[in-house]
Chains A and B, each alone.
Chain A
Amino acid sequence: MNLAIRDIRYHRGRFILTSIGLGLLLGVVMSMGGIYRGLFADALAVLDFAKADIWVVQQDTNGPFAETSRIPEDIKYRIRAVPGVAEASPLSFQTIQIERQGKPFRFFLIGYDLNGFGGPPGIIAGRGIRQKHYEIVVAKAMRMEIGEKIHLGLHDYTVVGITGKVVSSGGDPAAYVSLADAQDIQFKKDNYAIRNDRERIGANLAAIQSLSPAQAKYLQQNIAGITESTHTVNTVVARLAPGADLKEVQERISRWNHFRPISVEEQTKILTKGMIEKARMQLGLFRIILLVISAVIISLIIYTSTIDKIRVIATLKLIGSQNRVIVGMILQQSLLMGAIAYGIGYVLILLTYEKFPRRIVLEPFDLQALFAIVMAICMISSFVGIRKALKVEPAEALGG
């Protein structure tokens, strides 16, 4: 006869309530693990989508995600010419926050070369970008519809396609436009600012006595051209030719071009170690605290339920029960409570994780490890109760 289950059956109300409480706690622990994995997945998704081997960025920076990196767009030609590089394509990134339906609306805008790579990884509705201008592909998470218009910079953009779950390292959903549009949105000044700048440059040049008016005019056009140029990108991504050696190619790029070529592996390190390390430690700390709280709660529950059963335990001892019967009763109850609470937490997370504002990734390994930890906690927590139970004297069964 299983005394643990008999006791639970008799006190099922109390047992279910405590299990639900613990289950909620474990659900939070699971979600934190999921958020951590989600941070990881988000950070790496932004790397993954381009399917590039090398990220070329501004020298001495950890760009383009961890730090700002600005490089001229046309170095793509020079990168393409590097032996061992199969293709290279420029990309621009910017985080945009506008007002939409009265609420702040944040997303990560990726500009890519329509003739290169690094565009939306999978279109799940509509189509990809075909026209050079004013078309946008948005992530599903942005909840926009095909045909909808969105005002960015100086122009309106029409949603032509929906892509899946690409997000920025900050967790914002990603949208795609052509590189030229992205550069416009990022750098283009409005007409008033352009006129202002031109006049200011003109006035400055006119003040230089030694310039002839023709020279001044020529200079003014050139300077204005440079200041109005938007041909800047954040990175040029490159794919290696079959058989090319990554290290060699990296070295060539940095030696010849004075840019920093970051391999995917290095980029992963920058993103995970640098950007999400703090979040990871914080989540880890919370998880440990919550597990300690769970352990304390389980100990308390098992201890009080042992105290409630002192007379039962004394009676069992008096009629000659072996210690294993008594230890088994307490231990099994503790493990059962842990297992049921875990189950409740798991179901809870399974039902809700898609509704979390941030991505939650449930890794089977994490869940199994947590289960093992919970079982270990239950076992350790029941020791207090078991110790108490073993000290009970059979004589305590006697008397009123």
Chain B
Amino acid sequence: MYAIEVEKLTKIYGKGETAVTAIADATFQVKPGELVAILGPSGSGKTTLLTSIGLINEPTHGKVVIDGANIADEGWIPGLDLKRIRREKLGFIFQAHNLIPFLTALENVMIALEINHLTKTEAKHRATELLISLNLGHRLNNYPTALSGGEAQRVAIARALANKPKVILADEPTAALDTENGKNVMALLKKLAVENHSAILVVTHDHRMVEGFDKIFEVRDGVIAQETKRDS
């Protein structure tokens, strides 16, 4: 079974004269434990692809299946609890870390667990464990402004991982980092894909960052080219 199945996914913004086809007829699959990159220049439709899979933007046409559950078929399947699927099956990592500024590192991870009905004690326990495993044991009680870019992004990764999602969607997670920190983050994602057996779909415009990925799809003007295998 695939973690992500996308078939003829099309997303059109707007209507009539001003309509923009941001993604056209995308078809691909990602297996659990696979680390997959979508590589393309700015404006090529990468974010749109991610949000269409991630139950944030409604796909205009085509099918999306996440962890065996039909999500979209010519638009969202009626009656889905989008928020619930997002918090149970998906983890998100953003370009800007999107940590909540008034919560400490620990609380930022805990909130993801608490909205998924863990008790405060359980949430605290699991969040602490996660942050320690990501080498942030000394940063638990720091606010995001006190963290370095790399540290903040690792906290965001911890938050995305908190509910052990089947699928992690990352939108340019290294864009705000220097090359070295960027590579560290990608290496970490690689390790997590294997360890947690999650499917990780990473969007980036930086081809230097996709070393060691299992699959790389290049996207240009909304069209996904054939899978490119790269020599590492």
Q: Taking beta carbons and an 8 Å cutoff, which residues of A are in contact with B?
A: 1, 3, 6-7, 9-11, 311-312, 315-322, 325, 393-395, 397-400
Contact = CB atoms under 8 A, between A and B. Distances in A.
A398 B87 contact: no
A399 B120 contact: no
Nearest to B84: A320
A320 B88 contact: yes
A319 B112 contact: yes
B102 A9 contact: yes
A311 B101 CA distance: 10
A385 B101 CA distance: 19
A1 B127 CA distance: 13
B92 A400 contact: no
B83 A317 contact: yes
Contact of B115 (A311, A325, A400): A325
Contacts of A312: 100-102
Interface size class of B (residues with CB under 8 A): 20 to 34
B83 A398 contact: no
A1 B102 contact: no
8 contacts: A1-B110, A3-B111, A312-B102, A315-B100, A320-B116, A395-B57, A398-B171, A399-B96
Interface of B: 47, 51, 56-57, 83-88, 90, 92, 94-96, 98, 100-103, 107, 110-112, 114-116, 120, 123, 143, 159, 171
Contact of A318 (B92, B114, B116): B92
Contact of A10 (B51, B102, B115, B123): B102
B106 to A, nearest CB: 10
Given A319-B86, A319-B159, A320-B86, A10 B98 contact: no
A320 B98 contact: no
Contact of A6 (B90, B102, B115, B123): B102
Nearest to B47: A398
Contacts of A318: 56, 86, 92, 98
B143 A10 contact: yes
Contacts of A398: 47, 51, 56, 94-95, 171
A314 to B, nearest CB: 8
Given A1-B120, A10-B101, A399 B95 contact: yes
Contacts of B114: 1
Given A1-B114, A397-B98, A398-B51, A320 B103 contact: no
Nearest to A393: B56
Contacts of B107: 1, 6
B128 to A, nearest CB: 14
A15 to B, nearest CB: 11
Contact of A322 (B51, B57, B83, B94): B83
A11 B102 CA distance: 8
A399 B96 CA distance: 7
By Cβ-Cβ distance, the 9 closest A-B pairs, closest first, are: A320-B87, A10-B102, A320-B86, A7-B102, A320-B83, A315-B98, A321-B115, A395-B56, A394-B56
A123 B92 CA distance: 78
A319 B115 contact: yes
Contact of B96 (A3, A9, A400): A400
Contacts of A7: 102
B172 to A, nearest CB: 9
A1 B111 contact: yes
B48 to A, nearest CB: 10
Contacts of A311: 98
B50 to A, nearest CB: 8
Question: In the complex, which of the residues B51, B90, B92 has the most CB atoms of chain A within 10 Å of its own CB atom?
Answer: B92
A147 B116 CA distance: 79
Contacts of B86: 318-320, 394
A6 B144 CA distance: 14
Nearest to A10: B102
Contacts of B110: 1
Contacts of B171: 398
A395 B51 contact: yes
B102 to A, nearest CB: 3
Contacts of A6: 102-103, 107
B114 to A, nearest CB: 5
A319 B143 contact: no
A189 B88 CA distance: 98
B103 to A, nearest CB: 6
A400 B120 contact: no
Contacts of A325: 115
Given A318-B56, A319-B159, A395-B57, A400 B95 contact: yes
Given A3-B100, A315-B100, A321-B87, 17 more contacts: A1-B110, A10-B101, A11-B102, A311-B98, A315-B98, A316-B111, A318-B56, A318-B86, A319-B112, A321-B111, A321-B115, A322-B115, A394-B86, A395-B56, A397-B98, A399-B47, A399-B95
A170 B94 CA distance: 70
Nearest to B162: A319
Contacts of A10: 101-102, 143
A311 to B, nearest CB: 7
Contacts of B111: 1, 3, 316, 319, 321
Nearest to B160: A319
Contacts of B51: 395, 398
A229 to B, nearest CB: 82
Contacts of B143: 10
B141 to A, nearest CB: 12
Contact of A319 (B92, B95, B103, B120): B92
B101 to A, nearest CB: 7
Contacts of A9: 102
